Structure 1
């Protein structure tokens, strides 16, 4: 359990330091920079989920249009 706590402390110390340094360079608050990264991660994940749903719908539609027919009389 102490390894997990040390790992968490390491990421908090050096991970948040990146966003605070970036905020200092941009003249913003570090909290706003962190929220920006959180929002961007949700947007990009949602974008690819939307692409996945679109492709799944497209493949399903293709299968419905191009159904296999066993004979000419099934038209």
Structure 2
């Protein structure tokens, strides 16, 4: 079982992570910097999406509070 895990890891390290190496070679950068860029980019996009979600939730809640239907004039 352990050998299978090592074989899968070797496969992805040899073929899957070659994208960063190849991109770094084309751009003339270090592979470490390219990988760090992708990690930071993934955190940044997740943060932007979460902030957008919270903004929409706040906006919808505010809209519900402002435009609440009132049954009569005396509910003010």
Between 1:43-52 and 1:6-15, the stretch displaced more is: 6-15
Structure 2 residue runs without a partner (length 5+): none
What is aligned with 1:44?
Answer: 45
Q: In the superposition, relative to structure 1, how do residues 5 and 68 fare at CA in structure 2: closer, same or farther (>3 Å)?
A: farther
Give, in angstroms, the shift of residue 4 of structure 1: 4.1
Structure 1 residue runs without a partner (length 5+): none
TM-score where L is the length of structure 1: 0.85
Matches within 5 A, 1:1-75: 1-2=1-2, 3-75=4-76
TM-score where L is the length of structure 2: 0.84
SS of 1:42's partner is helix
- Which string of whole-angstrom CA distances, capped at 9 and with x for unpartnered residues, describes residues 36-68 of structure 1? 011111111111111100000000101111122
Distance (whole Å) between structure 2 residues aligned to residue 65 and residue 10 of structure 1: 57
